[in-house]
Structure 1
Amino acid sequence: MIRVDMYVKETVMLQFRDVKVFDGEKLLPPTHVTVDDGLITAIGPVGAPGATVVEGRGAALLPGLIDAHAHVFPGDLEQAAAFGVTTVLDMMADPVAITKLRGAPDGADLRTAGTAATVPGGYGWYLVEMGLLAPFPTLTDPDQAAAFVAARIAEGSDYLKIMLDDGSTAGMPTPTLTGETLHALVAAAHEHGVLAVVHALNAGSARLAAQAGADVLGHLFVDVPDPELADELADRGTVVIPTLAVLRELFGESRGGKLAADPRVAPHLGEGARRMLTWGSVPLGEGARHDVTVATRTLPELLDAGVTVLAGSDASNVGTAHGVTLHDELRRLVAAGMTPGQALTAATAAPARCFGLADRGRIAPGLRADLLLVDGDPTADIDRTLDILGVWRGGRRLMRGPDAGRL
């Protein structure tokens, strides 16, 4: 086991020596990786006079992980970084509150959808009723889509989130957007040059979203799809974030408590994160229509069809915690048919490409030194991603102590 200092350090010149490197797409033989002024400057046995040396023999160096689906509140970015998640893509938040969280020096970097598109009282409004979000704008007509999207861009949204959910999977009937409004929202997002990400939990809604030109589906569906749907998603270039971990927590068997007890996890959880992980199941309404095993069975069909898959945790839902649930998602993706290397790409290079984050997601000269060092080889055993030896963001070593991510 390689010991790595657990506290924040200023940016210094570093050289990771004799370390296996997963560059975002493939595993390289043991080599050296040099970092200077927050950037990766070289891969290979080059000289680095004055560099702080990190001996990496027996370890693997990964790009900092990217969580492609989460919801961020105070403390979450620090909690994510404690587990090597150095970029978080928030999928719905109060735009004023989320702006204050950007640039947290000891936390993950942040992108956000800000206010999501839904109808009055539609999916997502329950967050207002719970007091988690302030009342936010909604829309009822396709003619309102252009102004709605323009307002989101003005607020600082990096992409558009669209809620397409009638509540049937949870047995809680909910008003939802019309197909015409969905099309208008996607078109308006594309006019502004941003991605349209659609929340859909059944196959019918997923198909509507793809046919409307949506770029990303925020979940895998939990009902039996048309066998041609995987090919249709691939043909349209629709990207899918399965969120298998949260689907299991909401619609199946909760594993959050077991995860919280993992000795590699427990010392690095803030109290709020621990509460969320161990919350237990959520009561659903009568007539709920879902089968969470469908999502697991469908993933291989998507992969065979060539659909791009991204890893996302959907933290802050019950049974999840920022950072650690993304590691659980990687395990579930592998169990459902991905290779460990494919799963790692789904949390590094693939989301960076999809969301236009050209400076990260890979280990290559000129890119940000957002790095995760783990003991062992996670391309052979995905569980090794939790054997964390150190986390760096922009070349700075981050704290992993018990105060990281305190909520």
Structure 2
Amino acid sequence: MSAPASRPTLVRQAAVFDGTRLHPARDVLIEGPLITAVGDALPLPEGAHVVDGTGRTLLPGLIDAHTHATDAGQLRQSLLFGVTTELDMGGAPATARRLRAAAGGRDDLADLRVATTGATAPGGHPHQLVETGLLEPFPTVARWQDTDAFVAARVAEGADHLKIFIEDGTAIGHPMPLMSAQTVTALVRAAHERGLRTVAHTLTRTAARQAIDCGIDGLAHAPADGHSSDDLIEAAAAHGVFVVPTLTALTGMTPTPAEYALADDPRLRPYADPRWLDELDRIRTTDPAQRVGPISMDPAHAADAALRMFRLGVPLLAGTDGTGGMGHPTTHGISYHGELALLVAAGLTPAQVLTAATAAPADAFALADRGRIAPGLRADLLLVEGDPTHDITALRAVTHLWRRGVPVDRPALATTGAGAAEIRS
């Protein structure tokens, strides 16, 4: 569990990745919930605790830009792996509010921002999950004339941003109704009028282009149904959208999920949820054809599209689509490290991926108090052995972790189930 920060902490002589670039060894002072000084040979405040950063790198807490949280145990798992903020992309409003409130008052959970109910057509995605009992029935948008009232209801139920589903089901083998472009445009306009950013669920090239043309702020997935044309890539750059590739979720739908390697990494396995490890063992022994189903998506297409967008200036945000309990192995916390490795494999440098994990999502969602290391910002920080700007997997070797300046005892937190059950829908 985490413990109250009772005295200042001075991290001495750590390399500092500030959210956009790496600085040579310097000192960082934490007082209360904030970073109060960054520099060389900082004076030691009376009674301060000193942490030796020699040979280590200090980074902002990681931000997962695409999750679906249903209980506090998932937020605890995220924090264990250095993810100090989750951006939830849709779920039951009452659960979202309770989890966000819990995360706001506790330092043994990752912080949370929520989308509540996503916008979709009657019978549209993810209505199929209602049919299987995984989701409760939710309101939908039948006409463009209904959009203002729909968005107003989302604001009333506490949404921090708006999720819009543009999904005809062809990529997942389940055709379903789709909202019109006029309706999507009206939703974006209504959300912007209320100060909400908009994020579109788009798995196909057609859906991505529609979202871009309708004025969306970001793509919750990179298109994975085929090779994206230069016109699509250039449109994303011209319209100033951001993209969350969610490569680990897409590989989770393939016969060999990226999570297999994560579960076997000795830096990660001791902190993994035992229930997730059991589920992964079950998945390993399941016939891939039976488990995956009629999916017509390829993570390589998504990786290629995201990389080409990034090279034209599109902000790239690291996100997992971590759920838990939805039939694929992508989960909270540990899967994030798989996403970062997949982004490096796609062609980004480790330093670029670190920005995608920190400053870029903070900027995209106007979280001005985090995502960087600078005086006055939240002391959401992790200290790791080595240099993750050269080897992204160095992020897995966490030596110290702070959430709002509170030191997190990872071994103790990993052995407790507190929080996993007391806040559920």
Q: TM-score range by the shorter chain?
A: over 0.9
Unmatched 5+ stretches in structure 1: 1-6
- More displaced stretch, 45-54 vs 151-160: 45-54
Aligned letter for 1:32? D
SS state of the match for residue 100, structure 1? helix
Aligned equivalent of 1:4: none
Q: Deviations over 1:93-143 (max 9, x none)?
A: 101012111233110000000001112221112332343332111121111
Q: Deviations over 1:44-67 (max 9, x none)?
A: 221122111111111111000000
Q: Quick one: distance in 1 between partners of 2:111 and 2:10?
A: 23
Alignment of 1:291 onto 2:298: yes
Q: Matched residues, percent identical?
A: 45
- 1:372 is aligned, of 361, 364, 382, to 382
Q: How does 1:171-190 map to 2 (within 5 A)?
A: 171-190=173-192
Aligned equivalent of 2:331: 321
Q: Quick one: distance in 1 between partners of 2:20 and 2:416?
A: 29
Aligned equivalent of 2:81: 83
CA RMSD of aligned residues (A): 1.6
Aligned equivalent of 1:99: 97
Q: How does 1:156-195 map to 2 (within 5 A)?
A: 156-195=158-197
Q: What is the TM-score normalised by the length of structure 1?
A: 0.94
Q: Quick one: distance in 1 between partners of 2:152 and 2:201?
A: 20
Alignment of 1:309 onto 2:284: no
**CA separation of 1:272 and 1:125: change in aligned 2, threshold 3 A:** farther
Alignment of 1:34 onto 2:50: no
Q: Quick one: distance in 2 between partners of 1:339 and 1:87?
A: 23
Q: What is the TM-score normalised by the length of structure 2?
A: 0.90
Q: Quick one: distance in 2 between partners of 1:404 and 1:362?
A: 30
The answer as to whether partners of 1:296 and 1:336 remain within 8 angstroms in 2 is yes
SS state of the match for residue 228, structure 1? helix
Alignment of 1:403 onto 2:415: yes
Aligned letter for 2:29? T
**CA separation of 1:284 and 1:330: change in aligned 2, threshold 3 A:** closer
Aligned equivalent of 2:239: 236
What is the count of residue pairs matched by the alignment?
A: 400
- 1:354 is aligned, of 358, 364, 373, to 364
Aligned equivalent of 2:256: 253
The answer as to whether partners of 1:90 and 1:110 remain within 8 angstroms in 2 is yes
The answer as to whether partners of 2:250 and 2:298 remain within 8 angstroms in 1 is no
Aligned letter for 2:49? T
SS state of the match for residue 51, structure 2? strand
Q: How does 1:75-154 map to 2 (within 5 A)?
A: 75-102=73-100, 103-104=102-103, 105=106, 106-154=108-156
Aligned equivalent of 2:423: none
- More displaced stretch, 128-137 vs 149-158: 128-137
The answer as to whether partners of 1:274 and 1:321 remain within 8 angstroms in 2 is no
Q: Quick one: distance in 1 between partners of 2:141 and 2:312?
A: 35
- 1:264 is aligned, of 248, 263, 267, to 267
- 1:9 is aligned, of 3, 7, 13, to 3
Q: How does 1:35-74 map to 2 (within 5 A)?
A: 35-44=30-39, 45-47=41-43, 48-74=45-71
**Shift in Å at residue 300 of structure 1?**
2.7
Alignment of 1:202 onto 2:204: yes
Q: Quick one: distance in 2 between partners of 1:178 and 1:361?
A: 36
The answer as to whether partners of 2:243 and 2:306 remain within 8 angstroms in 1 is no
- More displaced stretch, 86-95 vs 167-176: 167-176
Q: Quick one: distance in 2 between partners of 1:56 and 1:173?
A: 54
**CA separation of 1:43 and 1:235: change in aligned 2, threshold 3 A:** same
**Shift in Å at residue 391 of structure 1?**
1.4
Alignment of 1:334 onto 2:334: no
